[in-house]
Amino acid sequence: MLVNHLTVEPSILLRDFQIIMNQSTLQIRRSLHLGALVALGALLLTSLGCPRHTPPPDNALEMPEELRVAIDARIATIDDARFRNVVLEYFGDGDRMRVRQLILVQKPDHLRVQTRIPGSDEILNLLVSNGETFSMHQRDTNEYFRGAPTRENINRLLPVDLSSRDVVRVMLGGAPWDRFDEETSTPELEWDRERGLYRYSVQRVTGNDLFMFVRHTDFAVIEVRETSPEGDLVYAYTTEGWRDAGSIALPGYRRFVWPDRDLDFSLDVGDTQLNISLDAHLFELPPPPGSRIIELDD
C-alpha cells in the first residue's frame, strides 16, 4: 500500500492561521461597528421621538397657596434694587428701537425708569411712580403726564402690561400677583413633567388660560404665559441667563411678547444691585418748569 505523505511548511501554516484570524477579527469589528451604529440610531430616535419627563421631587408642593408663600418668601429680604446698563430692544408696529435704561424699584410699588439713547447721557423719558401717583416727562416734547399707577399708564414707557406692584415683583424674580388676582377662578397647581417646573394657572373671565412656571429649587418665576381657548399666544413673559445677584438669583434677560399690539421687547440687564436704600425723592417727579401738564385720568 502506497501512502503519500504531504509535508507542509510551518511558515505556510502560520500565514494561513494569521489570515483566518485577521478575517475573523475584521468580521468581529464590523459586527461591533454595526451594532454600535444601530444602538446610536436607536438612542437618537428615542431622544427625538420621546420628550424628556421629569418626575416631581419628593418634597414637591401640592397646594397653590403653598407655592405662593414660597415665591413671596424668596424675595422677602429684598427691599429695593438698581438695574444698571439695561438695554431695551423694542419691536412693534414694524419698527425696531434700542435704548438704554436705568431701572430702580422699591417695594411694594415704587418705580423709576430713565431712558437714554445708546452712546448718550441725555435722558429722553423719565417715568416715576411712588405707588399713589404716576408721572412721566417726555423731554423732546416737554410734556408731563400725570395719573394713577395703572397698567395702562405704565405701558406708556415700559410696555409690560403690568401694574407698578407687579413690575417690582417681576424685576425681583417674583410673581405678577395683581395680574393673577384680578381673576375670580380658583388657582390650580400641577407639576409639568416635560419642563420640570411647577405650573400655576387660573382661567380668565375671557376664557383665556393664564399660566406661571416656577422653579422648584428656589421658587423663581421662570415664565408667565396667557393663551386663548384656541391655544393662541396672548401674552408672554420669559427669562434667560439667571445669575447670582447677592442673596438671590435673577434673570439677566427678560422678554415680553404681546401679539395683539404687535409688541415684542426685551430687557438685557448689565448690572444689578440689591438693598441699596434708595432715597424716597427718587420716586417723585414734579412738573419741570414750562412743561405742558397732561392729566391721564381726566
Per-residue pLDDT of the chain (298 residues; tens, 9 = 90+): 333 333 333 333 333 334 333 444 434 344 435 444 445 444 444 444 455 789 999 999 999 999 999 999 999 999 999 999 999 998 876 778 889 999 999 999 999 999 997 777 888 999 999 999 999 999 999 999 999 888 888 887 677 888 899 999 999 999 999 999 998 899 999 999 999 999 999 999 999 999 999 999 999 999 999 999 999 999 999 999 999 998 899 999 999 999 988 889 899 999 999 999 999 999 999 999 999 999 987 5
Total residue length of the chain: 298
Q: Is the peptide bond before 118 cis (omega within 30 degrees of 0)?
A: no
Per-residue pLDDT, 157: 67
Calculate the CA dihedral of residues 55, 74, 270, 274 and round it to 10 degrees.
-160
Reported CATH class of domain 64-295: mainly beta
CA distance 267 to 283: 21
pLDDT of residue 298: 54
Calpha distance 210→234 (Å, rounded): 9
pLDDT of residue 95: 78
Model confidence, pTM: 0.79
Determine the pLDDT at residue 249. Answer: 95
What is the Cα 98 distance to its own chain's centre? 20
Neighbouring CB atoms inside 10 A of 291's CB total 16
Distance CA 118, CA 113 (A): 15
